[in-house]
Amino acid sequence: MNLRMMWQKSQREKMICRMLLLLILTLCVCAATFVVNVTQSSYQAEENHNITLEWTFTTKPDVSWRFLFILCSLITDLRVFTLYHVHEGVEVPESQDGQFAGRVQSDKDVLREGRIRLHVSRLRTNDSGLYVCDVKTDYGFNSEKCQLNVTAVENQPEQQRNPERKSPSQQGNILHYVELVLIAALLLFGVFFALNVCRTFLVS
């Protein structure tokens, strides 16, 4: 390999490194500027009552909602239940778990204002747990959580009615794991995208 070829290879490698660095910095900036908030971090309610869960997220004017993805879930020790799902700006009611069928209504009018408002009716004690809402747009990704505790009408503690249910601290560990997986998946997607761009550039 002559000096000219070695120099060209070195320049290509430097360009790839610069593009990867730019991508990582872009992801960091997006994570910092795109914010998801929950209006209340903890809720208390009795079974058979109704409740409204609400999140807000950063919006930009004149943005296409084709790039809006929302997934609100209930995390318990047994599994993750889908509460509300929006794919490419369109609600996907068939993604909703049977536990919430017919009991969750969303305010579509406030969604474009960056507000996710979910009305959950006829609460059950097994609705207790951590509720996480993940929001992804073409300008950022983030998530936020809140805790809901539904007590029995006879005021018997939920832990006694469901002794197999894990404590809030254990549920918090599960949530932390899920958040780490989501962040890692997002970073991997960004790296693969950058590598594909670089490969295309080098081939051309």
Structural domains in the chain, sorted by start? 34-191 (2.60.40.10)
- pTM, entire model: 0.62
Closest CA to 31 of 165, 202, 186: 186
Q: What is the pLDDT of residue 43?
A: 96
Q: N- to C-terminal Cα distance for the chain?
A: 21
Q: E strands along 121-201, which residues?
A: 129-137, 140-151
% helix, strand, coil for the chain, step of 5: 45, 30, 25
Closest CA to 84 of 66, 62, 48, 111: 111
Residues 147-173: what's their mean pLDDT? 61
Which pLDDT band holds residue 21 (cuts at 50, 70, 90)? very low
Residues 83-98: what's their mean pLDDT? 94
Q: Which of 6-10, 26-30, 86-90 is modeled with the greatest confidence?
A: 86-90
pLDDT tens track for 68-82: 999 999 998 889 999
Q: Determine the Cα–Cα distance for residues 159 and 73; give it in Å rounded to an integer.
A: 21
- Mean pLDDT, the chain, rounded, equals 76
